[in-house]
Amino acid sequence: MDEFAEWSEGVFGDAELGDVRRTSRLVLMATQAVRRPSGKVSEVYDSAAERQGAYDFIESPHSESKAIGAAMAQSTARRCAEHDWVYVPIDGTSVKVWDGTSGRKDFGAIGTYTNGATGVKVNNALALTPDGVPVGMAAQVWWSRPRKRAKKHTHRNRQPLDQKETQHLITCIDQVLESFAKHAPNTKCWFQMDRGCDAHYVLVHLAKSEHFFTVRSQSLRRMLSGRRKAWVKETVRKEPVLGKFLLDLPETDSRPARRAKIVVRAKHVTLRLRDRWKTKSIDLPINVVLVQEEGRGRNRVDWLLLTNQPTSTYEEVMAVVHGYTQRWRIEELHKTWKTGACNVESAQLHTSERVIRWATLLIAVAARIERLKRLARSSPELSAAEELTRSEIEVLVLLKCRRKKKSEQISESPTIAEATLWIAELGGYTGKSSGGPPGSITIARGLERLSIAAEIVAIQKMR
């Protein structure tokens, strides 16, 4: 069994689809998709038989997306069992799918209702090792919004949970907890969430879970202070500075990459949370970390982090801040999945369920690409044999020897950093002129070319 097939079997081999032949088909599909990731089914599979088999699987009513996602989550939890705890960033996004049938397809609205975009919404949970290396997808929850905005007779704050999209976030948390309780009962999850997750339902739910969490607050939270209520942020800002440090911020759509000068403060408070639907208040003891960039500017760092982790010392506070920065890993995953190596939004499938089945398979592929990229940066001395097969390393060394400079010395047992660099070079990576270390797109393109070369060498050996 080659490395790609072994990976596919490990991720999807336990999928309960009612027939072992369907599970075998899923594993075969994933094996080819990790070799040649693409949003279009027709670009992943070479032969007509493979393409037809893939379409038959995707279109079959028995190929339930929930079963595919459950198998993926179970395999991730099992691999996390060796750790005492893992980071689990959760983030919501959407897969945009064009509906050219004037609304006859079952895709829902995404983005604002005025832009007319259609697709499916999803909350994703990604498991990371304590070193920040992706392990795999820990949960996925999909849903569709209605095409038109519903007329609301009450303000959203006065609606019950089952009428809010927050319910999907809580379902995602529960799926992670259920999977870990069964397959990694001794491993704690440290959930990392952005401002979109700052809802009192979520905070209370996380506090009851007996796992760790850090949530960035988006609202002007109230706290109890003696006999009166006070604003959390204004109160913590008056605390003494615990320390200063430099933080490397990645590039986003709204800012270039830069190094920021940061000051941190912390305080234990009791939040006064209001449930307007049940017309009651909830008091939640919690630790607060205020992370602010020195200076002024529209895009300066200004994070108010709510956590159940200790924050008494500078080292404890820095652990919370570092944990929150690991949330960026899921944003990198979404980029690789949606518009990078996997291009899931180019899928030309006709129902939301079919899109979800294909997208679930592709996000596992995207997570593997992100894992390889991150291992090369966080554990550069790790042997490449941990992630690649002997035959793939042999072919990679042969290809590198053909391209190497005269002064280069090529090891037949490369590290993961060396192997990833060589793979990225096959995919078009040009070094410093590319703007940084190898990224997901060049790694994915290099893996595809390595797979083709390895297959040719294997055929030649069989003659």
User: Taking 90 as the threshold, does the pLDDT of residue 348 lie above it?
Assistant: no
Cα-atom radius of gyration of the chain, to the nearest Å?
A: 24
Amino acid identity of 73?
Answer: A
Contact indicator for 175, 139 with CB cutoff of 8 Å? yes
| pTM of the entire predicted model | 0.90
What pLDDT is stored for residue 114 in this prediction? 77
More confident residue, 99 or 317: 317
Q: What is the torsional sign of CA 53, 56, 62, 63?
A: positive
What pLDDT is stored for residue 257 in this prediction? 82
3-state class (DSSP) for residue 207: helix
User: Taking 80 as the threshold, does the pLDDT of residue 122 lie above it?
Assistant: yes
Cα–Cα distance, 351 to 106 (Å, whole number): 6
User: Taking 70 as the threshold, does the pLDDT of residue 116 lie above it?
Assistant: yes
What's phi and psi for 219, nearest 5 deg? -105, 170
User: Taking 60 as the threshold, does the pLDDT of residue 154 lie above it?
Assistant: no
Question: 335, 321, 318: which is closest to 126 by C-alpha?
Answer: 335
Give residue 285's pLDDT band: very low, low, confident or very high (50, 70, 90).
Answer: very high
Mean pLDDT, residues 294-316: 90
The 3-state secondary structure of 55-101 reads HHHHHCCCCCHHHHHHHHHHHHHHHHCCCCEEEEEEEEEEEECCCCC
- Which of 158-162, 205-209, 310-314, 415-419 is least confident? 158-162
Contact indicator for 314, 289 with CB cutoff of 8 Å? no
User: Taking 60 as the threshold, does the pLDDT of residue 364 lie above it?
Assistant: yes
Cα–Cα distance, 12 to 8 (Å, whole number): 6
Q: What is the torsional sign of CA 284, 285, 286, 287?
A: positive
Alpha helices in 193-313 (DSSP H): 200-208, 232-237
CATH T-level assignment (fold) for domain 73-338: Transposase Inhibitor Protein From Tn5; Chain A, domain 1 (3.90.350)
* Cβ neighbours, 10 Å, residue 436: 11
CATH T-level assignment (fold) for domain 379-462: Transferase Inhibitor Protein From Tn5; Chain A, domain2 (1.10.740)
Structure tokens at 412: 């037949």
3-state class (DSSP) for residue 342: coil
Contact indicator for 261, 246 with CB cutoff of 8 Å? yes
- Which of 79-88, 104-113, 155-164, 356-365 is least confident? 155-164
Residue 287 has what DSSP assignment?
Answer: E
H or E stretch at 249: strand 243-249
What pLDDT is stored for residue 366 in this prediction? 95
3-state helix, strand, coil in the chain (%, to 5): 45, 20, 35
More confident residue, 134 or 116: 134
Mean pLDDT, residues 40-50: 91
Structure tokens at 268: 């234990």
- Which of 82-96, 179-193, 376-390 is least confident? 376-390
Give residue 158's pLDDT band: very low, low, confident or very high (50, 70, 90).
Answer: low
Pairing outcome for strands 85-96 and 188-193? parallel
Same fold? 73-338, 379-462? no
Domain boundaries, the chain: 73-338, 379-462
